Amino acid sequence: MNHLLLKDFPLIATDKIRYSDTDRQGHVNNAVFATFLETARVEFLLTGDHNILENDASFVIAGLHLNFIAEITWPGSVSIGTGILKIGNSSITLYQQIYQEEICVATAETVIVQVKNGQGLPLSSQAKNTLNQWMLPKTD
């Protein structure tokens, strides 16, 4: 997927950069990038009145492909743009970009699967209808 501007994402979250997020060189540790992505995923999937998740089910990550583009430095905050690339039977493929001061510092594709008792659980038609509002436009 081509890099998008933050304003092009249907969902935008922010997260604070903590001093403890930095490594010995003063840059945000690469593992924290995944935490920023999680902040945005959880904010839209598990909060609000979206009713995406079935009762007694949960979402698990089936795949994460994270591309590091630039360093993040402390202090400050990041913005995370999130949209959906694909809705499957029980899975959702998300596309996210992390920005610091409107500069894209990372991109990621994450596949999450709704599971119950260790097995994939199909998304309801209501969940799919809700998720459709956050689809990103197809680009080549």
What is the domain-level CATH number for residue 12? 3.10.129.10
* Per-residue model confidence as pLDDT tens digits over 10-44: 999 999 999 999 988 889 999 999 999 999 999 98
Task: Please report whether residue 1 resides in a domain.
Answer: no
Which pLDDT band holds residue 47 (cuts at 50, 70, 90)? confident
pTM: 0.93
Q: What's the pLDDT band for 139 if we cut at 50, 70, 90?
A: low
Residue 11: partners with Cβ closer than 8 Å, 6 or more residues away: 40, 43, 44, 81, 82, 83, 134
Residue 15: inside a domain, yes or no?
yes
Q: Which residue has the tokens 């583009």?
A: 69
* Residue 58 is assigned to a structural domain of this protein: yes
Q: Are 99 and 6 in contact (CB under 8 A)?
A: yes
Whether residue 87 contacts residue 123, with contact meaning beta carbons closer than 8 Å, is answered with yes
Residue 138 located in a structural domain: no
- In a domain, residue 126? The reply is yes
CB environment 105-136: b (16+ within 10 A), e (fewer): bbbbbbbbbbbeeeebbebeeebeebbeebeb
Q: What is the dihedral of CA 55, 9, 22, 65, to 10 degrees?
A: 70
77 in any annotated domain: yes
pLDDT one-digit tens code per residue, 97-123: 999 999 999 999 999 999 999 999 999
- Total of domains in the chain: 1
Range of the domain at 40: 6-132
Within-domain flag for 39: yes
In a domain, 139, yes or no: no
